[in-house]
Structure 1
């Protein structure tokens, strides 16, 4: 099947939105750790913030590009004056995108103008809603993919190697993505990793600015709030899907953690 032919067989198209549109229900949709079904290319054009990708926390400022592959645990905390654009790319588009996250700090004016132009062209296309819009959006996404991969190749190679602590945190975050609905505790994940819970907690705090408990809690809370925002899905359904033993405990848990993840989660399987 050709690239263009495949466009007619898919429902979700690439789209460009502002960061506020990426979190229509509130800043928590970006600031709590979560993963998304689409690839994301975030282009920050004003202000500063912090991003945590697979447990590694770093600062973000103007003319920073973030590529977050689908299914990657991340959170983006942007300041009050911050502004940026986000390109959502469905995984079915065959664009040769990287399989790992990237954070690019761009100083080249031409590179900055190129990605800004691509994203603004996508916004104009969306506003017109003309025939063949999905194909036009896919073509713009392909240009953004070329731009991203080109900038990655042009970036100087990093001399610093990833530490064992960073590798451990990344491994833990990947397990959280696949297992947060199971009712497991951080200690269960630590056992899977073959490390003491105290060690996992320490490296998570060092790398992510969050304990292992807080990382897991944020992912659960984000999913719970997203579920409860869907029409026809009540607390009982959400509790069952997230591995809680009872609806009452789920509601108490969410009330306690709904505004953040400052305390450790109790054992969900026990409901106490």
Structure 2
């Protein structure tokens, strides 16, 4: 399905549909690194497979998987060369009723697969249209997408196991990490805030997503650093300080360890 930026409209200025492969056009780190968005995001995979981490839980995805990520929820996912699908970004001011919690749905019914494909096609068609009331039609189709998500989630909830203690702890950790990653707190301090030891927190992180707590923390901080290096003229040292690094030298070492290049060299890639 062809995707493009929407035309202007009362509620659709910030809403957009993007082909999933295009999300990694500026580098795979843009989708694979841990980060959160200030808007809801719906991912509909139509081909390929990979892994996605949402709120500290890693699961495999394949064709006909629907994933909803609420605003502020930390996530990252693989986008290989054979992965196709559509990402819907609802915009910060969206009035669509959407789930409060993340969803990962495996849509097996052909009718449900067809329904979401038709809805996405109609959203794109109205966004590309110059006909009267196309903006209002876009909002209505987005509402239908929200209804589709709610119904599919309701069907899946009966069979969904309750998250175990490790998953609940790591979800709390990623939520706290998203709020605190700029303050320079280490894993020990974050674990203390959660009422557990750093060792226990790291064990749970490895169990739910195959990564340590420090890996998640550094990935989140370095993702933000890369964005600031590419999208602003803020001096390198000031970026490191704003993300809680104790010194410019420590920031440079951490950045180079994760990316293979220095912050200054990375900025020159623009």
TM range (shorter): 0.7 to 0.9
Task: Confirm whether residue 249 of structure 1 aligns to residue 257 of structure 2.
Answer: no
Distance 1:254 1:104, change over 3 A: same
Query: Aligned with 1:155: secondary structure?
Result: helix
Distance 2:126 2:237 in 1: 41
User: Aligned ranges for residues 104-253 of structure 1 at < 5 Å?
Assistant: 104-128=105-129, 134-155=135-156, 157-158=158-159, 160-253=161-254
- In the other structure, the counterpart of 1:93 is 94
- In the other structure, the counterpart of 1:33 is 34
Distance 1:259 1:71 in 2: 28
- In the other structure, the counterpart of 1:103 is 104
Conservation of the 8 A alpha-carbon contact between 1:14 and 1:138: no
Cα offset for 1:63?
0.2
Query: Aligned with 2:46: secondary structure?
Result: strand
Query: Aligned with 1:117: secondary structure?
Result: helix
Q: TM-score, normalised by structure 1?
A: 0.86
Q: State the number of aligned residues.
A: 254
- Point out the more displaced range, 172-181 or 110-119: 110-119
- In the other structure, the counterpart of 1:72 is 73
Conservation of the 8 A alpha-carbon contact between 1:44 and 1:84: yes
- Point out the more displaced range, 127-136 or 42-51: 127-136
Distance 1:222 1:8 in 2: 31
Q: TM-score, normalised by structure 2?
A: 0.86
Cα deviation per residue 1:213-237 (whole Å; 9 max; x = unaligned)?
Answer: 1011111111111111104233133
Cα deviation per residue 1:124-168 (whole Å; 9 max; x = unaligned)?
Answer: 344456676544432322121111111112225135322111111
Distance 2:128 2:211 in 1: 40
Distance 1:201 1:26 in 2: 28
User: Aligned ranges for residues 10-29 of structure 1 at < 5 Å?
Assistant: 12-29=13-30
Conservation of the 8 A alpha-carbon contact between 1:45 and 1:62: yes
The CA RMSD over aligned residues, in Å, is 2.2
Conservation of the 8 A alpha-carbon contact between 1:35 and 1:74: yes
Distance 1:233 1:126, change over 3 A: farther
Distance 1:71 1:161 in 2: 22
Q: Which segments of 5 or more consecutive residues in structure 2 lack a partner in the other structure?
A: 1-7, 262-270
Conservation of the 8 A alpha-carbon contact between 1:235 and 1:247: yes
Query: Aligned with 1:229: secondary structure?
Result: helix
Distance 2:12 2:47 in 1: 32
Query: Aligned with 1:36: secondary structure?
Result: coil
